[in-house]
Each structure stands twice: as structure tokens, then as C-alpha cells.
Amino acid sequence: MEFSFIGKPLVRVDGKEKITGAAKFVDDLEFGSNLLYAEIIESPHAYAIIKKIDISKALKIDGVVRVVTGSEFPYKFGLYMHDRYIFAQERVRFVGEQVAAVIARDPATAKRAAKLVEVQYKVLKPILKIEDALDIKERESSLVHPDLHNYFHVPWFFPKANSNVAHLRKIRKGESESEEKMFKDADYVFDDTYSVPRYAHCAIEYHAAVGLYDFSKRLTVWTASQSPHTQRHLFAEALSKLGLTHKDVRVITPYVGGGFGGKAGVTMEILAAALATTVQGNPVKVMWSRSQEFYNTYQRQGVLSNIKVGVKRDGTITALEQNLYWDAGAYVEYGANVVNAAGLSACGPYRIPNLKIDSYCIYTNLPPGGPYRGFGYSEFLFGLESHMNEVAKRIGIDPIEFRRINAISEGDQLSYGGKMNPNGLREAIDRVADEIERAWPANAAANTTDTKVYGKGFALFWKAPAMPPNAGSSAFIKFNEDGSLNILISAMEIGQGLLTVMAQIAAEVLKIPIEKIRVETPDTDRNPYEWQTVASHITWGTGNAVLKAAEDIREQIFKVVERAHGDGAGGGIKRDDLYLESESVRSHSDPKFILSYKDFVINGIQMADGTFRGGPIIGRGSFMPEFSSALSNPETGQGGKPNVHYTVGASGIIIELDKETGKIRIPKVALAIDCGKALNPDLVDGQIYGGMLQGLATVLYEDMRFDDKGKLLNASFSDYKIPTALDIPDEIVPILIESPQPDGPYGARGMGEHTMIPAAPIIANAIEDATGVRIKSMPLTAEKIVLSIKNAKKNES
């Protein structure tokens, strides 16, 4: 049995999910008996022109309320680029794109009627490969978006008109105007190509949304989302021609059952918002099936990396040239920012004087790519860290020592000209190296047989929050009569421990037990603004907002106590004499003065004449990185400060590999991360465990397959493999390093995404160490490992 976010149980009948009578009862309790259900009609083609939609048969079905087509919603939307419609207009661009919707009294009727909607298409030849997208031909389907030049986009995107390049991020640093100058100081130059396919997020909870457009013309949408305020903004923008403004749109988000980026921004949620406006007064529910979770939400983008590295004999890297070609899919309204972020940081955590990086965001007719844990860094670091190992091996330097030589340090120049923040990267290298060396089996050589071999892998990683320069966070904190607190924020709890850490920050300032603090989940009518819960920036950004709100409360407390207990003539209690302790205000000079919060934070402090001072105390705090700027030279990437800081680390692994089956056992993996300050070490450890396991899943098991018409072939957990408890490493060693971030709350910076980033290269490097075979394309499945070993033997003979 599985559960949606509003508690709808599902059962499987004949391999399909069916709604039960009990589930209908749950829905009625939550949204009322007039709740309607929508079924989406999707395109069966990857690229086609819509010639005609006939809804007449569907409208005749008993229980059908409305059938909606794109003609009712000719509105674009998008976070960074407006390239997507709510329902397809004129043409469809991927298998599964929304064409129409049936709204009915119950799910079964909606499904039955949806099958009767007849859509006539003129099928076009789809563009399914990066190479084909770049090879523009004189044919109708050579451009996925012929109107690209007309699309609104943020000023730091650079789309190329009359092409399939939706954005190109360039970096030029040092002597980069020609290859001859770039590599003139190198004794050796090594180049190679690496590839990473698409991946699914695999959150256990489905995407689901309920929209209600009531008779006061208020649109309320309940979503499973990482981005309630961003969704409100995009709903209001897209539906503005219906008369809706931001004040008329409300988004409510309860706990989310897994996000990993797949529930950031806006995908299917806008369908519930739009459809609700067509049946005023009736809530409408849209819920994806498990297969739709695979093909009709954001996917992690595939990438092809061409890497060239120049290096001196002593191991010093002199130059890096890298071309990244990203399969961004049919719409890039969010995914283009993945490409942008990767391009800014594709040099990795290395000090390299000469850089030439081109990161291409390319339209294809596959499902839209978007944010996924790691936000492009996992993808490009597979190639980069694999290649760094190869470079070290070819010049005869230990791969770990090679990284020590070139690791970036505080103050080093970044790719776009800024300076690197404080970090403990070298400490991370040393501690992971020591951990792996101590764990290396003393009898590895003796235990090695014709079939069983051991290998060690090592990699560095880094990541900056990929966010616009004006990504804001805010917080309200309000006291209750008993002295307890409610914290109102719009950052989202998605399993990372956000609620606990925000409560810890407030508790530290106000000296209140954490169990007396409740952190509320988002409701955009009640909770203040938060950009999104993405980019591993919430501890830093929202944490700073909560810290400021708590400090605001502390200052209000001191002021009202001074007003009530100072006599204004030089005597009495002064502001500087006060401090907080154990849910009360106290005086340094008068140990007997103790004023409990519950005695005044709501009702005020009574004076001798019967009047009161104070009133309900409410704190507010907001934070925006005012030093950040995304504006730069589009030809060089120089200028501005697009990244607020980097979190860095290192990881190492030991594998036992069976050469006959390709099966890998992992005796030990270690990961060190510099999170600035671990506000809750147990939660940081949990992120290391979870991130590493998710990363190992992408490199060893997960494999998304499409046919030659753009249809996903393995849209289920039966065919899309994810690991089980039996596949977990024997031991995962978390190592916490703390080099305080000067502008972080108590020195903290984010680390939630980072812990999966090194998984792919450490496995690839360990396989090469064990077998001598370098595999340059993910995933590194058992089958691929065996075939690679056999092919290497053939080539040797």
C-alpha cells in the first residue's frame, strides 16, 4: 500500500493503481463531497503538430463536469525562462505532454472519459540525441522551439536564436583565447570524453495537487512542493489574464514525502490551479501515477563532457578546457539554471589558472530536465574526477597527492574572478585518505583471485548554492501565553531536519527548550516569503532569517523590561544589564531579578499605577545575500559574484569486485565535508548516509531507457532498479570538518546535496584501480563492468 500526501491509499489491481472506497471517504473528509477529479490526456508522440481535438464523446459520459483543452489556457510559465504552456499549444514536444483534461465526479469516470478524447496529430521526426539537436537541418522539426528568440528569460541566460541551444554559459579565465596559449605551460595534455544519462528522482510520494477557486475569486492550491511561494508567483503570473493577482493565490504545503529537486519549481501543480478556475466552487484533484512520476516530472539531465587538461611534470594543473553538452529536454524553464550552475563551477575544487568552459543547454524531444540533488555537479564531476585520476596515473603521481597539489584554498581565484571562501578541503583529503588506508584489507593481495579483486577510489567535490542573487528568506516568531514559540517560515521540511535546526537557532538565542518551539509548515497566506527549498541554502539563508527574528525578539524583550523597570533617572535596570536564561529575563547586577517570559510576552508588564508596558511580542527577520550578482560578461563569465560560497569535501571507497559477475560489495566508504559549523551533527551524519546511498544508486543500478520514438521504456520500479537494504555498504564513515562561514548562522553553510556528488567517480576510480579498466559512461552496472573487462582483454590480445 502506498500513500499520497493527503493520505489517499492506493491498491494495485491488474498492475494498475485503483482508488478505493476508503480513499474516496478520506478525500471527502479533507476537501468535501464536491471534490472533483481530473484525468490528463497526454501526447503519445515526442514531437507532433496538434491538428484537431474532439471532446464530444467524453462530454456525453455521465459524471463528466468539464473537458478542458489548451485553447482555454494559452499562457506560458517558467521560473527562469517562459518556454512552457500549461497545456500544449499547436504542437507537443515530448511523450506525455499535457494536451487536455477531463474533470469528473470520480476518478474512474475521469479515466474512462479521457480515453474518449480524440486528438489528431501530424507526427514530426523527434530530436532525441544531443548530436542531432546541434545538427540543424532544413526541415520542419529541426528546431524544438522555433520561437526561442521571443521567450522571456532572466538576464543571465543567453539563448541562441534559430538553434536548439537554450542557454550557453561561457567561462574564460587566464590565457584562454587560443589552445596554444592555454596549454603552453603544460608538459602533458590529456583529453577524453565522458557521458552521464538521465535519471529519475524516485521519491516514494507521488506528485499531487488540489486546486479550489472559490466564489470570492480566491485560488487555493494544496501541493506537495519544495517551493510554495515560487508556485504562488508562477500561478499568479500564468493566470493573470483571468484577473488573478498574487493576493488572490494561496498555496498550502504540508510535509513532503521526498523531493530531491523533483518537487521544486512548478510542474503538474499548475494543472490543478488552472483546472480549478474552470469549475468555480469545486476543488479539483490531480495526482500522478507511479509511471507518470518517471516520465512526466523533471528528470535529471544527461550530459556529454569533453575534457582536456594540461599539467606539469610535478603534477601542477596549468589549464582545463571542458565542453558540457546537456540534454535538457523539451522545456528548460528550470533546467537551464542547472546548466548555468555547472558551467560556473565545472573546473571543480581546483586551483587552475587557465580555463575555457562552455556549458550548453540543449533542447531535445525528451521529457523536461530540471533540478535534481546535486544540481549538475554530480554529472560533471563524474567526468572531471575520473579524468583527474587518469591524469595522475599517466604522469606517475598518486591520485590523492595529485589532488593535494592542486586543491583550492581560501582566497584563490574562482572561475568567474571571485575569491574562494574559507574551507577545510586539504583536511578533508587527509582525513578521508587516512580512513581508507587504515581500512584497506591487509590481506587484499592474498585474497585477490582470478575472479575477486579489490580497489580503492578517491574524489573531491564541491558545490555552491545555485540561486538568483536576490533569493530571499524571511521568518516570523511569535510568543504564546505560556511562553512557548511558533516559528513561521516557508522553507520546506523534506526529510533534511529543517524544523529541528530552525528551532535550535531560536532556542539558542532566546534560551528556550527546543521542545517548547513549534516550526510551522508553509501556508503562503500565513507564513512569510521563502524563495525555494533548494540549493542546499536553507540552513544558511532561512537560518539567518530565523536568527535575525530571534534577535529582534530579544531586543524587544530588553527594551520593554528597561521601560518597565528603569526609573529614567539613572537608576533601575538598564538594557546592558539584562540577559536571557531559562525562559526568563535576568539582571547581571541583581541576581534576584527574574522575569519569566510567560508573565509578560503577551500581557505586558503591570506598573504600580495599574497600567501595562509592552504587548504581544512578535519577531521578524529577513535575509538576502546583498553582495551577490549574476551579471557578468556573457563571453567570459567574468564579473559579478554569482555564487555566495562553496561547500567542499572529499570521499573515498573500498570495493570488492567479482570480475565474472560484475557484482560489487562495498566494505567501506568515507566522506568528509566542511559544513562550516554542524548545528546538528546527527542530522549532518544522516545527510552523509542518505546522500551517499542515493549517489551509489545512480552509479550502480539506475538506468533510464528510451525507445527510438522518445518513449520511456522502464517507467516503474520493476524495471528501473533502485537499491535495497541488502545493497548498503558495510560501513559509511561520516567526517565533519568545520571552517566557519563568516556570514552563516553560527558559521554554518549548507551540505544536503553535496553528499551524493562524489559517489560516481569514487566507484569509477575504484573499478579502474581493481581491474585496470576505465569506464567512461554511467551507470556502472554489473553487466557493463563485465563487458568492459572482457573487451579490455580482447584488445590486449
Q: Which position among 753, 768, 783, 796 bears the catalytic label?
A: 753
Query: In terms of Cα–Cα distance, which of 200, 234, 361, 364 is closest to 703?
Result: 200
Q: Roughly how many angstroms between the first and final C-alpha of the chain, as a whole number?
A: 54
Q: What are phi and psi of 418, to 5 degrees?
A: -75, 180
Q: How many CA atoms lie within 13 A of 473 on its CB side?
A: 23
Question: What is the DSSP code (8-state) at residue 638?
Answer: -
* Helix runs in 346-443, H state only: 377-394, 399-406, 425-439
Question: What is the DSSP code (8-state) at residue 523?
Answer: B
- 542/548 Cα distance (integer angstroms): 10
- 655/217 Cα distance (integer angstroms): 60
371 CB contacts (<8 Å, ≥6 apart)?
A: 261, 262, 264, 265, 298, 334, 335, 337, 338, 534
Q: How many CA atoms lie within 13 A of 235 on its CB side?
A: 34
86 CB contacts (<8 Å, ≥6 apart)?
A: 70, 73, 75, 77, 98, 238, 270, 271, 274
398 CB contacts (<8 Å, ≥6 apart)?
A: 392
Per the document, the length of the chain is 797
Query: In terms of Cα–Cα distance, which of 795, 788, 780, 796 is closest to 659?
Result: 788
If DSSP states are collapsed to H, E and C, what string results for 108-127? HHHHHHHCCCEEEEEECCCC
Helix 759-771 with 377-394: angle, nearest 10 deg? 30
Whether 508 is a known active-site residue: answer no
The cell for 182 is 592555454
31 CB contacts (<8 Å, ≥6 apart)?
A: 210, 212, 283, 285
Diameter of the chain measured on Cα atoms? 102
Query: In terms of Cα–Cα distance, which of 336, 79, 98 is closest to 231?
Result: 79
Query: In terms of Cα–Cα distance, which of 535, 580, 578, 568 is closest to 753?
Result: 535
Is there a contact between 285 and 293 (Cβ–Cβ < 8 Å)?
A: no
- 472/623 Cα distance (integer angstroms): 6
Is there a contact between 674 and 747 (Cβ–Cβ < 8 Å)?
A: no
Q: What is the DSSP string of 410-429?
A: TT-B-TTS-BPPP--HHHHH
Is there a contact between 679 and 669 (Cβ–Cβ < 8 Å)?
A: no
DSSP reduced 3-state for 130: helix
**Catalytic residue positions?**
753
